[in-house]
A = this chain, B = another copy of it.
Amino acid sequence: MQEALIKEIVKKVMDTINGSKAIPVEVSARHVHLSEEHIEKLFGKDYNMTKKKDLSQPGQFQYEERVTLIGPKGVLMGVAILGPARNKTQVEISKTDARTLGINPPVRESGKLDGSGNICIATERAVAEAKESLIIAKRHIHMTPEDAKRFAVDDKQLVRVRVKGDRPVVFDDVVVRVNNKYMLSMHIDFDEANASGYKDGALGEIII
């Protein structure tokens, strides 16, 4: 009994220590957010998209359907579609993907699409020309107002985050995004994951 109690206390203390500093890190693979208009164009009028699974951010999910991205130098097939639908289509790829496609989109925060890249999105029935939709997502941390208070950071603040992997890296210019609907998670792309030796369950830490 006493041993179990000690273990529980140790676990609670460790959770408190880790919980105060550690940020779960997730890798965002290439994906598209489609507008209603582009869903209709690519899949047909009154088509019902099929939800596949929920994602870590509450309310966000992946559809069963996939698309092909077409560039002047190459194509990317089987690209995931995330829901719900957005007002404007947004396509997020890595710099490696950009080289494959032969396009050079800017590194941007989600939603900041003015002057971003163009890309053609295809299904077996149609192609949508998505103007000013293509970005390389700027690395960021989703967090709640309570998390922001705990980390002493503000919405839109740029912070430095150490990610512990086989190839430890400190990422500068990581955007903090605060919303009470978010769940604490840092998002990096596959280039950043590969460069830092990322493995599932990796943790990040905001440093001064």
State which residues 162-177 of A face B: CB under 8 Å.
162, 166-173
For A191, the chain B residues whose CB sits under 8 A away are: 96, 191, 194-195
Whether A95 is near chain B, meaning CB under 8 Å from some CB there, is yes
Whether A196 is near chain B, meaning CB under 8 Å from some CB there, is yes
- Kindly name the residue among A168, A171, A194 whose own CB sees the greatest number of chain B CB atoms within 10 A: A194
- Kindly name the residue among A160, A169, A173 whose own CB sees the greatest number of chain B CB atoms within 10 A: A169
For A172, the chain B residues whose CB sits under 8 A away are: 162, 167-170
Whether A192 is near chain B, meaning CB under 8 Å from some CB there, is yes
8 Å CB contact of A169 from B171, B189, B197:
B171
Least Cβ–Cβ distance between A92 and chain B, in angstroms: 14
Least Cβ–Cβ distance between A79 and chain B, in angstroms: 16
Q: Residues of A within 8 Å of B, CB-based: how many?
A: 24
B139 engages A190 (CB within 8 Å): no
| CA–CA, A169 and B193, complex, Å | 13
Closest 6 CB pairs of A and B: A95-B194, A195-B195, A170-B170, A191-B194, A168-B172, A192-B195
Listed by A's residue number, 23 A-B pairs whose Cβ atoms lie within 8 Å are: A94-B194, A95-B194, A95-B195, A95-B197, A96-B190, A96-B191, A107-B197, A138-B167, A139-B167, A160-B170, A162-B172, A167-B171, A167-B172, A167-B173, A168-B172, A169-B171, A169-B195, A189-B195, A191-B191, A191-B194, A191-B195, A195-B195, A195-B196
